[in-house]
Amino acid sequence: MTDKGAQYEHQPVMLEEVLDMWFSRGDGFYVDGTFGRGGHSRALLEKLDAQGRLAGIDRDPQAVAAGEQLASEDGRFQIVASRFDCLPDVVDQVGRPIDGLLLDLGVSSPQLDDAGRGFSFLRDGPLDMRMDPTQGESVAQWLARADEQDIANVLYRYGDERKSRRIARRICEERKEQPITRTLQLADLIESAIGRGEPGKHPATRSFQALRIHINGELDALTQVLEQSLETLAIGASRHYQLPFSGRPDREAVYSRSLRPGSQGARWFAVGRRNAPAAGADWQGYSCQQGRAESECSLAQCGVAGSGEGGLMSVPWLIRTLVMLVVISALAVSYSVHEARRLTDESQKLKQQQTRLESQWSQLLLEHSTWGSYARVERLAREKLGMKLPKTDERVLIRP
């Protein structure tokens, strides 16, 4: 770990949009679960009045140092060196429910820009990637001991890396020769395993994202804090989630497990950077192209904000949805009845037409057989008896 973190700046993502949904009342109690360098926190403090309170949480010691600085400047703010999935402890300390919780997940610019943290596949550094370098094992340590199958699973599950098996095999071959300890060593190795890949995207992008999510237990933490937020947010608070990628992790961990309908009148938003997640029954999706370069935002930016006014999942919203469903069903039924009548009329007309055609057909058959018999007599008379049809001036007049 380096001590250079303070020199790097972090540009907060979608500041205006986040504040719109995070802030609801000037005297409220707010939590910034991913303080970073406090870009969102500082902007929120500007909107709070003297009674408002904000607690920032971060597990990165360099972010905590930046938070301590802010706390010394503003008495309404406190920094907690912890993981955001310890949310209930923070709430217990403050003793009041949260009016808005913001989770801006992913790696911060200072973490990415500091090669010593090992997050970047473009800068050479130790292969670490821990948000809190004092806890747990680094990516290098994990890659040295993990099964080939486990490595492939992590790359596929958290990075949507379709060539995960090939990369895992290559990693296991390489580590027999020498330990994999550097970021560029791993990035080059991945490129040698799968080639250059998609234009404009480094072939190691997906793998680095997957390894970071895995080594920091990011999805478990996210799932837990979302569960906890149901208990700790003020009743009727609305929640706002920003998810700048729509890969498997956010869908699985966030939407299906945590965004449960009926949770305290919650209002959920999912914001996609590239592909807006489609709206669900209990959340809305929309896209936002602002913010950092994609390489810097490979994991979800996830925000939870409270409005204190109830939201989409509140009773009026349910009623609106039900009314809409009833109207749509009524329209569908009326259209079906109309269509059924039209088809019955059509079928009767066709039957009448069929009867008329059948009678015309019998008539034609009769005429055909009549004409057929005249022609046959003529032919027999000509062939067997040598007779021929008289010309008009050869008529024989027979008189009795």
Ligand X SMILES: C[S@@+](CC[C@H](N)C(=O)[O-])C[C@H]1O[C@@H](n2cnc3c(N)ncnc32)[C@H](O)[C@@H]1O
Per CB under 6 A, 108 contacts ligand X? yes
CA terminus-to-terminus distance, the chain: 139
Q: Are 266 and 239 in contact (CB under 8 A)?
A: yes
Residue 290, helix vs strand vs coil: coil
Per CB under 6 A, 39 contacts ligand X? yes
Minimum Å gap between C-beta 171 and ligand X is: 25
For residue 40, say whether it is annotated as part of any ligand binding site: yes
CA distance 95 to 100: 15
Nearer to ligand X, 8 or 317 (CB): 8
Per CB under 6 A, 240 contacts ligand X? no
Nearer to ligand X, 129 or 171 (CB): 129
CA distance 295 to 153: 22
State how far the alpha carbon of 204 is from the alpha carbons of 119, 121, 192, in Å: 11, 7, 10
Q: Are 1 and 116 in contact (CB under 8 A)?
A: yes
For residue 39, say whether it is annotated as part of any ligand binding site: yes
Q: Are 87 and 228 in contact (CB under 8 A)?
A: yes
CA distance 279 to 285: 5
Minimum Å gap between C-beta 301 and ligand X is: 7
Nearer to ligand X, 224 or 287 (CB): 224
Q: Which of these segments, 22-30, 80-88, 177-185, 330-338, binds ligand X (CB under 6 A)?
A: 80-88
For residue 285, say whether it is annotated as part of any ligand binding site: no
CA distance 183 to 140: 9
Query: Which position's Cβ is nearest ligand X?
Result: 36
Per CB under 6 A, 83 contacts ligand X? yes
CA distance 98 to 306: 8
For residue 393, say whether it is annotated as part of any ligand binding site: no
Minimum Å gap between C-beta 215 and ligand X is: 11
Q: Which of these segments, 45-53, 81-89, 93-101, 122-130, binds ligand X (CB under 6 A)?
A: 81-89
Minimum Å gap between C-beta 190 and ligand X is: 24
Q: Which of these segments, 78-86, 186-194, 199-207, 314-322, binds ligand X (CB under 6 A)?
A: 78-86
Q: Are 281 and 312 in contact (CB under 8 A)?
A: no
Region of residue 219 (left: phi > 0; alpha: psi -120 to 50; beta: else): alpha
Choose, by CB under 6 A, the member of 19, 30, 53, 58 that binds ligand X. 58
Strand 269-272 to 77-81 pairing: unpaired
Q: What share of the chain is helix, strand, coil (3-state, %, to 5)?
A: 55, 10, 40
Count of chain residues binding ligand X (CB under 6 A):
21
Name residue 239's amino acid: R
Q: Which of these segments, 55-63, 68-76, 244-252, 344-352, binds ligand X (CB under 6 A)?
A: 55-63
Burial of residue 143, with CB atoms counted within 10 A of its CB: 0-12 exposed, 13-18 middle, 19 or more buried: buried
For residue 36, say whether it is annotated as part of any ligand binding site: no
Nearer to ligand X, 10 or 157 (CB): 10
**What residues pair up with 280 in beta bridges, in sequence order?**
283
CA distance 266 to 86: 21
Contacts with ligand X in 8-37 (CB under 6 A)?
Answer: 10, 12, 34, 36-37
Choose, by CB under 6 A, the member of 59, 206, 214, 240 that binds ligand X. 59
**What residues pair up with 78 in beta bridges, in sequence order?**
55
Contacts with ligand X in 118-147 (CB under 6 A)?
Answer: 131
CA distance 91 to 396: 128
Per CB under 6 A, 221 contacts ligand X? yes
Nearer to ligand X, 77 or 84 (CB): 84
CA distance 224 to 256: 13
Contacts with ligand X in 276-335 (CB under 6 A)?
Answer: none
Q: Which of these segments, 58-66, 177-185, 233-241, 345-353, binds ligand X (CB under 6 A)?
A: 58-66
Choose, by CB under 6 A, the member of 5, 28, 38, 265 that binds ligand X. 38
Minimum Å gap between C-beta 36 and ligand X is: 3
Nearer to ligand X, 265 or 272 (CB): 272
Choose, by CB under 6 A, the member of 84, 158, 208, 255 that binds ligand X. 84
Torsion on CA atoms 245, 232, 38, 296, rounded to nearest 10: -10
Q: For binding to ligand X (CB under 6 A), which residues are involved?
A: 10, 12, 34, 36-40, 57-60, 63, 83-85, 104, 106, 108, 131, 221
Binding residues: 38-40, 58, 84, 104, 111
